Amino acid sequence: MALRGVPQHSSIVGGSTADRLLNCPASLAACRALPPSADAPSAYAEEGTFAHAVMDGLMRERASGDTDLAACAQALLGLNIYDRAVTREHLDGLILPALEQLAVLEGHFGAGRGPFAPEVLGVEQRVRFPGIPGAFGTVDLVLGDDEYLILVDWKFGQGVGVRTVYSDGEGTFVNPQLMYYATAALHTKPRWFRKRRIVVAIIQPRSVEPLTFTEITRHEIRNFVQDLHNSVLAAVDRDPPMRKGEHCRWAPCKVACPLWTGPLLDLAVLQPVARETAPPKHMVSNYALYLGFAKHLLDTCLQLKAEVDAQMHAYLENGGTIPGWKLKDKPTRRQWVDTDTVYAELTELGFSDDEIWREPELVTFQQADATAKRRGVKIPDELRVAPPSTGTTLATSDDPAPPVERTALVEKFAASLRMLQQAGK
């Protein structure tokens, strides 16, 4: 299975930025004012892209008539997809749980009316949002039967859970990313929606809530179109509204936003308060107020730090210079050298096959070390090596690690390009 090409997002709004633009129209100009980022995708993003590629292939298998998707997934073990080989951990932690949650979702719509056997209408379906030039998105999976149309969005992160419906204190609202995709799909493929009820769903197998879904109406879609159009108009106005909130979580413009940098000034003038060891009962003391305010400011600063780090990294990757900082090679985790060598060496140390293999892979370092300890032997260090670094990370100028110069990055890129050209001949 190969990952289809991923198009560039709209310069105005896309599914992942719809929430931000709706809540803070000023973010459009603020993000455009930032220097272009050449930062490499994070390991988490790469893992998500890999998992999406696997699910893309499995859903296409389903569309072609294969119904035993678990068996299809098992058959992928050891195959290279996107940028890595499929492992047992991938199947057990990501792929099979996602398939299980998809079955739960479909079972809900079959309850009380017979088996729900929808047709796969779209996989990685590109859709266009109406009325905004260049605004489009990609729907991961579209299923449909005579009554329901279900749009599924795969999420493979394990940090922040993403839900279909949220509450803002004034009521509930549907995740704007899903509303964006549903609206764009209705505009692009209107025949899919005829006489069908519309359901949007998020499947995030490693979240506390691995499945959330809700039904939306055409009235909600019309309102969403109007709201997003109004936000775009506000964004290009002379004085767009600026608001801080949860929509800022992944916003790169936090680094220059006065609503975010303001707490740095507040923190600088925050006066310490005498510590209390015996809190007064039934009242809020000055010390309690101080702690609450300080905690809020520090949490804000931590979020701002993450964004500043990301933009510093991108700036240095682009060849810039920042006093006191440099790039160094990102550390890599050690791994076994080639399988035959490891097998021969561990066998020589007295390991049995069951102590060497956890089919179809070698045992982990931890498992091998435990066996070596029981047998009173030592595993040679040369069996475990760290692969060459494939990325860079920030470091202070006095860090002993050698700096990665911009010229070195260019040479690495040129070497990679030559290898690709040679492979294509």
Asked whether residue 365 is domain-assigned, the answer is yes
What local confidence, expressed as pLDDT, does residue 315 receive? 77
Instruction: Give yes or no: residues 73 and 218 share one domain.
Output: yes
Pairwise CA distance, residues 282 & 107, whole Å: 51
Closest CA to 177 of 207, 138, 209: 138
Instruction: Give yes or no: residues 393 and 305 share one domain.
Output: no
What local confidence, expressed as pLDDT, does residue 59 receive? 95
CB neighbours of 117 closer than 8 A, spacing ≥ 6?
145
3-state SS, residue 211? strand
Instruction: Give yes or no: residues 414 and 290 share one domain.
Output: no
Q: Examine residue 36 and say whether the peptide bond preceding it is cis (omega within 30 degrees of 0).
A: no
3-state SS, residue 302? helix
Residue 338 has pLDDT above 70, yes or no: yes
Instruction: Give yes or no: residues 103 and 47 share one domain.
Output: yes
Q: Which residue has the higher pLDDT, 304 or 175?
A: 175
Instruction: Give yes or no: residues 289 and 407 share one domain.
Output: no
How would DSSP label each residue in 183-224? HHHHHH-GGGGTT-EEEEEEE-TTSSS-EEEEEE-HHHHHHH
Q: What secondary structure letter does DSSP report for 83?
A: T
Residue 406 has pLDDT above 90, yes or no: no
| Residue 13: CB atoms within 10 Å | 25
Asked whether residue 247 is domain-assigned, the answer is no
Instruction: Give yes or no: residues 25 and 114 share one domain.
Output: yes
Q: Are 151 and 182 a contacting pair, CB within 8 Å? A: yes
Last residue within a domain, chosen from 201, 235, 269 = 235
Pairwise CA distance, residues 199 & 25, whole Å: 28
Alpha carbon of residue 282 to chain centroid: 44
The confidence band for 281, taking pLDDT boundaries of 50, 70 and 90, is confident
Asked whether residue 25 is domain-assigned, the answer is yes
Q: Examine residue 210 and say whether the peptide bond preceding it is cis (omega within 30 degrees of 0).
A: no
Asked whether residue 290 is domain-assigned, the answer is yes
Pairwise CA distance, residues 70 & 64, whole Å: 15
Residue 141 has pLDDT above 70, yes or no: yes
Q: Which residue has the tokens 């499947």?
A: 203
Q: Which residue has the tokens 């329901």?
A: 148
Per the structure, the count of domains in the chain is 4
Each residue of 122-133: pLDDT tens digit? 999 999 999 998
Tokens (6 digits) for 151: 């749009």
Beta strands in 118-163 (DSSP E): 119-128, 136-144, 148-154
Asked whether residue 197 is domain-assigned, the answer is yes
Each residue of 231-270: pLDDT tens digit? 999 998 888 888 888 888 778 887 777 777 666 655 565 6
Q: Which residue has the tokens 């809530």?
A: 209
Each residue of 327-336: pLDDT tens digit? 888 888 888 9
Q: Are 258 and 27 a contacting pair, CB within 8 Å? A: no
Asked whether residue 315 is domain-assigned, the answer is no
Instruction: Give yes or no: residues 198 and 75 share one domain.
Output: yes
Asked whether residue 416 is domain-assigned, the answer is yes
Q: Are 123 and 56 a contacting pair, CB within 8 Å? A: yes
Each residue of 30-55: pLDDT tens digit? 888 876 665 556 677 888 899 999 99
Pairwise CA distance, residues 264 & 255, whole Å: 12
Domain that holds residue 352: 335-385
Q: Which residue has the tokens 């000055």?
A: 286
Instruction: Give yes or no: residues 209 and 222 share one domain.
Output: yes
Instruction: Give yes or no: residues 51 and 114 share one domain.
Output: yes
What single-letter amino acid sits at 16? Answer: S
What local confidence, expressed as pLDDT, does residue 274 receive? 67
Asked whether residue 89 is domain-assigned, the answer is yes
Give the CA angle between residues 263, 299, 161 to the nearest 5°: 130
Tokens (6 digits) for 263: 């707490």
Share of the chain above pLDDT 70, in %: 85
User: What CATH number does residue 61 fall under?
Assistant: 3.90.320
Q: Which residue has the tokens 């549903």?
A: 182
Instruction: Give yes or no: residues 263 and 207 share one domain.
Output: no
Instruction: Give yes or no: residues 167 and 93 share one domain.
Output: yes
What local confidence, expressed as pLDDT, does residue 277 receive? 67
Instruction: Give yes or no: residues 57 and 193 share one domain.
Output: yes
What local confidence, expressed as pLDDT, does residue 399 receive? 79
